[in-house]
A = this chain, B = another copy of it.
Amino acid sequence: MDEPLRAPTIDDVRAAAVRIEGEIHRTPILTSRAIDEIVGMQLYFKCENFQRVGAFKFRGASNAVLSLSDEDAARGVVTHSSGNHAQALALAGRRRGIPAWVVMPTSAPAVKRKAVQGYGATIVDCEPTLEARETTAARVMEETGATFIHPYDDPRVIAGQGTAALELLADVLGLDAVVAPVGGGGLCSGTCIAVHGENPSVRVYGAEPEQADDAWRSLREGMLIPVGQADTMADGLRTSLSELTFGILREHVAGIHLVKEAEILNAMRLIWERLKIVVEPSSAVALAACARLHPELAGKRVGIILSGGNVSFPGDALL
């Protein structure tokens, strides 16, 4: 892994769309007059909360798993994640009929461990440190020959995530801008490549919590700055960019917009109340950023990628 990763191209995104077509849901696009009035734009919500495993992550994981040769695939896949990527990779592995290992800290919530196991993956425990995760994943690779699939620092994963924007552009004509949340940058990078590959004049914005503003800082300073203490309710956005996603965002985005925690909560409530759908805080970050982008986007046609809908509710009697 010494040579730098190559950014995927629009052709990679298009190939991913064909590759994963039978695997993913083509998610709907919702609109709300009430939200449009409040925000002052025509908003089109791409609902990846309705994606399999409840998040866009299944697109990237599927594309990565289906990109493997039969020989490589047979040895399985491995990742370290306790979030949506872990479930996504578990399901993608099961769909291809290959083993999947997920390295997870012993401190991860039981509900997440259960979900990953429910999709048929094997959990490999590790201590809750980055170093332990990496050495444990390396050990699994060594012992099994499994291929490591990173949650975002992987061109195959980024190309897969870009397919959501590809569908959005196909379904909504004449978009002026697209807004996507930024965590590790996989979704936003894929969105950049898909959108600009289709139409370079459509602006792409990243949306980030003030409490996890590494992409905003990195772009401002022109160098990769890892996130510090990421104290945000948008738990999917607490990760830092990689060199690969940083490079893509630097080339493509019209700007990263920061939002406060109260704005995230407001935007989430607005989506729940008006669109009647369940989204996770990370998704709401993109809508909150839109409100910030007024008047820059006043009256414009703006696509928003709602990244997912995995929220835990109290109790578990029926589950």
Which residues of A does B touch, CB under 8 Å? 28, 38, 49-50, 54, 262, 265-267, 269-270, 272-273, 276-279, 291, 309, 311-315, 317-319
Contact = CB atoms under 8 A, between A and B. Distances in A.
Q: How many copies does the complex hold?
A: 2
A291 B317 CA distance: 13
Given A272-B313, A313-B272, A318 B267 contact: yes
A38 B318 contact: yes
Nearest to A267: B318
A311 B273 contact: yes
Contact of A278 (B28, B262, B276): B276
Contacts of A277: 276-278
A309 B275 CA distance: 9
16 contacts: A38-B319, A50-B276, A262-B317, A265-B315, A266-B318, A269-B313, A269-B314, A269-B315, A269-B318, A270-B318, A270-B319, A273-B311, A276-B278, A276-B279, A277-B277, A278-B278
A42 to B, nearest CB: 18
Q: Which of A49, A269, A276 has the most chain B CB within a 10 Å cutoff?
A: A276
Contact of A276 (B262, B291, B309, B314): B309
A50 B28 CA distance: 13
Nearest to A55: B276
Contacts of A262: 317
